[in-house]
Amino acid sequence: MNKSDKKRGKGAKTPAKTLKRLLVYTFSNNKLATAFVVLFVLLASVANVTAASRVSYIVTELIDKGVNADMTGTVYPNIIAMACIYFIGSVSSFSYNIIMMYISNRTLKKMRDEMFAKMQYLPLKFFDTHTHGDTMSIYTNDVDTMRQLLTQTIPQIISSAITLIAVFVFMVIYSVTLLLVVLVMLVAVLFATKIIGGKSAKYYIKHQKALGNLNGFVEEMTEGQKVIKVFCHEDKAREQFKKLNDSLNEAGEKANANAFVLGPVNNNLGYLQYVLVALVGVLMMAFVGEKGFLSIQCSIIEAGAANRTAVLAGMLVSFLMYSRQFNMPLMQVSQQLNAIVMALAGAERIFETVDTPPEDKGGDVTLTSGKEGWAWKKPLVGGGFEYIPVKGDIRFNNVVFGYTEDKVILKNITLYAKPGQKIAFVGSTGAGKTTITNLINRFYDIQSGEITYDGLDIKSIKKDDVRRSLGVVLQDTHLFTGTVMDNIRYGRLDATDEECIKAAKLANADFFISHLPKGYQTTLKGDGANLSQGQRQLLAIARAMVSNCPVLILDEATSSIDTRTEKLIEDGMDKLMEGRTVFVIAHRLSTVRNSKAIMVLEHGEIIERGDHEQLIAQKGKYYQLYTGAFELE
């Protein structure tokens, strides 16, 4: 289990804070719309309650007067009023629903956009420590949990609250005593919700965790499905999957069962309440009399009423109706409980991602390109700028670095690359070759020492501009969804088609591109899955050629290209490297042989340096490697 899985299991740590932040996030940018939502929700709930009271008014009128009911004077006008109220209620509820729909969709979009924008600027450490599947699921699953919360749960809570208050007021007017009965049952409902809902939430979080585990397992094992086949490991895999699947099932069943049970429990508690209210009403009428009801309404009517029992009975009818109405919103909100738990856990993860501090921008020296080529623009203390031409002079002075504090990868590295020189790094895997290039483009920050670029401390230059001045071809080639042309142009967005094709020709990629179904306009999908590893590297080289940077980093740039093709692109590579400072990492010594300086790295230290002849003459590690390789031929 990795770290993020553990996080997944926790659920929301500070639900109240998260909820508040979520509400602010959602509504602060839609203040006017929010005001309208609240207004319409208010209108709709009031309409609901009033309509219901109209119903009871009509019913009471019919009860009271019977055949003598005033049809034209009271009943019909009331029915018409009710129709109007219903209409207003419907229009209002439609209005707030549609506004909420727009707000929520906009919020989801904004969330995804902002999270993505933040993520783009996170330090590489974030990507090293989070699994892709986990991060992806924040964008889809977690963001989607907000949808129900925003479109249904929140409006429902508001309208329920209003209905509850209104109904509560009516009930107070009708009978305080009976209200107490209702409140006792309310406590029972809340208690049941807390216990059952809490259980459901607990298992739900367990379920999410189990799902995460299963997800991770499938991701890892399917990635290696062919290895499983080759090693006849199918039964073992099936067994492991079964274990994870079983625990997922167990948690899921319990979470769902509790959620499904909550509805009937609350619903039937509602019926129980109804019975209790009725019984208490009957008993009080029989044994205590009207005073016992503590009814404000009755005491008002009392004076003029001919038949007090009738008045009391009418009051009871109304009260029973209201007590039903009191239960409805409670039930609806308790049904939404799971949605709230889910949404808050999701929101927590979203905010956590958004809150991860971005990598710092670096210094205030920027890159400009004018007629005389590229230059560093350095702000001076007294105002104004100093322009330093970009030459590609890179030096490491006693650089110490480790990915974590306690494990040093590079020990006291000192090296220099003068403009136009080709510097090669040789050494076994894990010696720290790639790490050095990761420091030049400032993917990671050094612990001590100094790296200078054209005499400037690399930390004083804006990170983006350092990177803009470096063209890179990495060991693992990654391409983007889009046409082949788009992918080459990735190196420099304003490159013309001709420039891109020229680069492709130099990289010897033109041949295979023109054999693709639509040539340069062929769409690549899924990281260029339809191309071979070698073809993808050729595209990456073309991409670097288009970028036209003063400094180049080639990290095993030709490792997947067969040697015949490598020879074919040699001219292109030479042209690419001409006049540029180049850092090369390669296993094939033939690739690095003509470098100005070759650094042999071992365990994070440069153990030998010099050009090919010097190193051969030294008869050290390089000599061993070189002749070791040579011997075999």
Partner 1 sequence: MFKTLLKSVREYKVASILCPLVMIGEAVMEILIPFMMTYIVGQFERLAKGEIAEINVSGIALCAALMIACAVFALLCGVWGGKLAAKASCGFAHNLRQDMYDNLQKYSFSNIDNYSTSGLITRITTDVTNVQNAYQMAIRMLVRAPVLFIASIVMTLFIEPFMALIFGGAALILGIVVAFCMVRVAPHFKMMFKKYDGLNAVVQENLTAIRVVKSYVREDSEIEKMKRATGEVYKYSVKAERILTIMMPCVNLVFFAVNIVILTLGANMEIGNISGNVSPSQLQTLIQYSAQILSGVMMVAMCLNFISLSKGSMERICEVLDEKATISNPEGAITQIADGTVDFENVDFAYSEKSDKNVLSGINLHIAAGETVGIIGATGSGKSSLVSLIPRLYDVSGGIVKVGGVDVKKYDLDALRNKVAMVLQKNVLFSGSVAENLRWGDESATDEEVRLAARQACAEEFIDNLPGGFNYDLGQGGVNVSGGQKQRLCIARALLKKPKVIIFDDSTSAVDTKTDALIRESLKKHAPETTKIIIAQRISSVCDADKIIVMDEGKIVGSGNHEQLIATNDIYREIYESQLKGEAEHE
Restricting to residues 473-512, name those near partner 1 by CB under 8 A: 474-475, 478-481, 490-491, 493
b/e per residue 414-451 (b: at least 16 CB within 10 A): ebebebbbbbbbbbeeebbbbbbbbbbbbbbebeebeb
Q: Any contact of residue 436 with partner 1 (CB under 8 A)?
A: no
Residue 478 CB contacts under 8 Å (≥ 6 apart), including other chains: 527
Instruction: Look at the block and give the residue holding tokens 């051969």.
Output: 616
Residues 24-53 contacting partner 1, CB under 8 A: 51
Q: Any contact of residue 176 with partner 1 (CB under 8 A)?
A: no
Of 117 and 176, which CB lies nearer to partner 1 in the complex structure? Answer: 117
Residue 560 CB contacts under 8 Å (≥ 6 apart), including other chains: 477, 532, 533, 534, 536, 537
Give CA–CA dist 104/617, Å, rounded: 71
Under DSSP, the state recorded for 507 is T
- Residues 560-589, mask of contacts with partner 1 (x by CB under 8 A): xxxxxxxx-------------------xxx
Among 293, 322, 443, 520, binds partner 1 (CB under 8 A): 443
Q: Any contact of residue 623 with partner 1 (CB under 8 A)?
A: no
Among 33, 158, 186, 228, binds partner 1 (CB under 8 A): 228
Smallest gap from residue 382 Cβ to partner 1 (A):
30
Of 430 and 448, which CB lies nearer to partner 1 in the complex structure? Answer: 430
Q: Any contact of residue 257 with partner 1 (CB under 8 A)?
A: yes
Give CA–CA dist 391/374, Å, rounded: 8
Q: Any contact of residue 67 with partner 1 (CB under 8 A)?
A: yes
Of 259 and 415, which CB lies nearer to partner 1 in the complex structure? Answer: 259
Among 10, 73, 113, 448, binds partner 1 (CB under 8 A): 113
Q: Any contact of residue 119 with partner 1 (CB under 8 A)?
A: yes
Looking at 9-17, 64-72, 397-405, 576-584, which segment touches partner 1 (CB under 8 A)? 64-72
Of 113 and 497, which CB lies nearer to partner 1 in the complex structure? Answer: 113
Give CA–CA dist 612/442, Å, rounded: 29
Smallest gap from residue 410 Cβ to partner 1 (A):
15
Of 13 and 619, which CB lies nearer to partner 1 in the complex structure? Answer: 619
Of 246 and 386, which CB lies nearer to partner 1 in the complex structure? Answer: 246
Of 397 and 580, which CB lies nearer to partner 1 in the complex structure? Answer: 580
- Name the residue type at position 184: V
SS3 of 55, please? helix
Question: How many helices (H) and strands (E) in the chain?
Answer: 26, 15
Give CA–CA dist 471/551, Å, rounded: 6
Among 14, 29, 268, 530, binds partner 1 (CB under 8 A): 268
Characterize the bridge pairing of strands 523-524 and 551-555. unpaired
Of 267 and 460, which CB lies nearer to partner 1 in the complex structure? Answer: 267
The C-alpha angle 553, 555, 561, rounded to 5 degrees, equals: 120
Q: Any contact of residue 523 with partner 1 (CB under 8 A)?
A: no
Of 176 and 282, which CB lies nearer to partner 1 in the complex structure? Answer: 282
Q: Any contact of residue 140 with partner 1 (CB under 8 A)?
A: yes
Smallest gap from residue 150 Cβ to partner 1 (A):
11
Token pair for 594: 């003509």
CA distances in angstroms from 186 to 171, 261, 267, 322, 538, listed in the order given: 14, 18, 12, 14, 71
Q: How far apart are the first and last CA of the chain?
A: 47
Of 384 and 526, which CB lies nearer to partner 1 in the complex structure? Answer: 526
Q: Any contact of residue 58 with partner 1 (CB under 8 A)?
A: yes
Smallest gap from residue 141 Cβ to partner 1 (A):
8
Among 35, 180, 296, 313, binds partner 1 (CB under 8 A): 313
Among 468, 505, 596, 609, binds partner 1 (CB under 8 A): 468
- Name the residue type at position 190: L
Among 173, 341, 472, 577, binds partner 1 (CB under 8 A): 472
Among 38, 75, 388, 408, binds partner 1 (CB under 8 A): 75
SS3 of 422, please? strand
Residues 196-215 contacting partner 1, CB under 8 A: 211, 214-215
Of 6 and 242, which CB lies nearer to partner 1 in the complex structure? Answer: 242
Of 20 and 242, which CB lies nearer to partner 1 in the complex structure? Answer: 242
Q: What is the dihedral of CA 101, 103, 109, 112, to 10 degrees?
A: -110
Looking at 11-19, 131-139, 346-354, 412-420, which segment touches partner 1 (CB under 8 A)? 131-139
- Residues 285-304, mask of contacts with partner 1 (x by CB under 8 A): xx------------------
Looking at 155-163, 309-317, 385-393, 449-457, which segment touches partner 1 (CB under 8 A)? 309-317
CB 562 within 8 A of CB 534: yes
Residues 79-108 contacting partner 1, CB under 8 A: 79, 82-83, 86-87, 89-91, 93-94, 97-98, 101-102, 105-106, 108
Residues 319-348 contacting partner 1, CB under 8 A: 320-321
Among 22, 189, 265, 298, binds partner 1 (CB under 8 A): 265
The C-alpha angle 594, 600, 606, rounded to 5 degrees, equals: 135
Looking at 60-68, 344-352, 382-390, 391-399, which segment touches partner 1 (CB under 8 A)? 60-68
Q: Write the DSSP assignment of 563-632 as a string of letters.
A: HHHHHHTHHHHHHHHTTSEEEEE-S-HHHHTT-SEEEEEETTEEEEEE-HHHHHHHTSHHHHHHHHHHHH
Residue 167 CB contacts under 8 Å (≥ 6 apart), including other chains: 49, 322, 325, 326
Under DSSP, the state recorded for 357 is P
Burial of 589 (0-12, 13-18, 19+ CB in 10 A): middle
Smallest gap from residue 236 Cβ to partner 1 (A):
8
Token pair for 338: 């799971």
Smallest gap from residue 106 Cβ to partner 1 (A):
7
Give CA–CA dist 487/525, Å, rounded: 11
Q: Any contact of residue 377 with partner 1 (CB under 8 A)?
A: no
Q: How far from the centroid of its chain's Cα atoms is residue 181's Cα?
A: 47
Residues 235-254 contacting partner 1, CB under 8 A: 235, 237-238, 241-242, 245-246, 248-249, 252-254
Cβ neighbour number for residue 461 with a 10 Å cutoff: 25
Give CA–CA dist 119/135, Å, rounded: 10
Q: Angle, nearest 10°, between helix axes 3-10 and 337-355?
A: 140
Give the number of residues in contact with partner 1, rule: CB under 8 A. Answer: 167
Q: Any contact of residue 311 with partner 1 (CB under 8 A)?
A: yes
Smallest gap from residue 611 Cβ to partner 1 (A):
12
